[in-house]
Amino acid sequence: MQYPQIIIPTRLGIRFVKENDILACKANGNYTTLCLLDGRQHVITKKLKEIESTLTKGAFFRIHHSHMINLNHLVSMSNGSDIKVVLTDGSELEVSKRKRSDFMAMFTKF
């Protein structure tokens, strides 16, 4: 299967990253950090909202104001008052209270 790619400008030129190689995206003001499967992180000068609009809908979910995850790399999630997700690299992120109902709605079909 061919995965869409996104373009990451670097000091040396342009890097092409397959969407499926992105574990998560973290917002930091006007910057976004892309966390990749291989452990590398790329900081780019775009807001998380801009990145979100370029990625394939349904493959990524914004779990928090400052975090978006690739659902293809979701391993598990806790249930209870605080919902936390675990990604394939072992990282653990909390789903915000405002995003919980939308996030859980994706899994009610099972």
Encode pLDDT of 58-87 as tens digits.
899 999 999 999 999 999 998 877 899 999
Encode pLDDT of 4-63 as tens digits.
888 888 788 898 999 999 999 999 999 999 999 999 999 999 999 999 999 988 899 999
Q: Where are the domains of the chain?
A: 5-105
pLDDT at 1: 53
Pairing of strands 92-94, 84-87: antiparallel
Task: State how far the Cα of 27 lies from the Cα of 68, in Å rounded to an integer.
Answer: 9
The residue written with tokens 């400052």 in the block is 66
Q: What is the CATH number of domain 5-105?
A: 2.40.50.1020
pLDDT at 81: 79
Residues 6+ apart with CB under 8 A from 33: 25, 26, 41, 42, 43, 44
